[in-house]
Amino acid sequence: MPPQTYKILDIVLDKNEFEVVECLSGAQAVRLCVSISPDIILIDFDMPDMTGKEIVSSIREWSQTPVIIVSSRKADEDIIHGLNFGADDYVIKPFNTDVLRARINASLRKSAVHEAGEPVLSNGPLRIDLVRHEVFLDKKLLAFTPKEYKLLKYMIINCGKMLGHRDILKEVWGPGHADDIQYLRVFIGQIREKIEVDPANPSIIKTELGIGYRMEFLS
């Protein structure tokens, strides 16, 4: 994606607490999609090494992550092809930033409903808005980093299940981090500080020694 477009996206999305990762080539975009498991992908039709069709088709071989094409091409044929290749939406440059945010939220809402059955997840007093990327405890909005949010989302979707270290790491950080167990411990500790009454003796996120973690059902 051209640097000027990336700068605009970085400003727009950072204000909405998205963590933005830049890709300068199609091959790099595909590799990063595998390694970091993003929530949504924005790509340009005109990359230096791959066509938009090749990038989307490659991603669709293994992932249903929402994809939005952001392109200066505005012919009906290009838009139809982009959507037929597997993209979820198509935004023409120059774009209105408010419209782009709305398109991103719509794609995330659709993805959230597909993944969790609804755009809001709840476990007792703990609630996650999957579209706005917000976490509430007893109706109080909590400050979560993008990775903390993604980790908590994965755990609440799988509430009551014992989740192995490697499974969590691959889902939240990507396959390249499957052995970073200490990294996971740090983030679990940060989340406990925000949602547990006594983080040293957690009652919401339990540790299964040598195995992983489990989120308990809350009343």
- Cα distance between residue 91 and residue 133, in whole Å: 22
Work out the average pLDDT over 182-204.
Answer: 95
Tokens representing residue 34 in the block: 């595998």
Q: Which of 15-24, 30-39, 58-67, 80-89 has the lowest mean pLDDT?
A: 15-24
- Provide the pLDDT confidence category of residue 10 given band limits of 50, 70 and 90: confident
Residue extents of the structural domains in the chain: 3-115, 118-215
Q: pLDDT at residue 117 above 70?
A: no
Could you report the per-residue pLDDT of 44-86, keeping only the tens digit for each? 887 888 887 888 888 888 888 899 998 888 889 888 888 888 8
Fold of 118-215: Arc Repressor Mutant, subunit A (1.10.10)
**Adjacent-strand bridge partners of 120:** 129
Percentage, residues of the chain above pLDDT 90: 35
Class of domain 3-115: alpha beta
Beta bridge mates, 212? 164, 208
129-150 pLDDT tens trace = 887 788 999 989 999 988 899 8
Residue 9 predicted with pLDDT over 60: yes
**Token representation of residue 198:** 């006594």
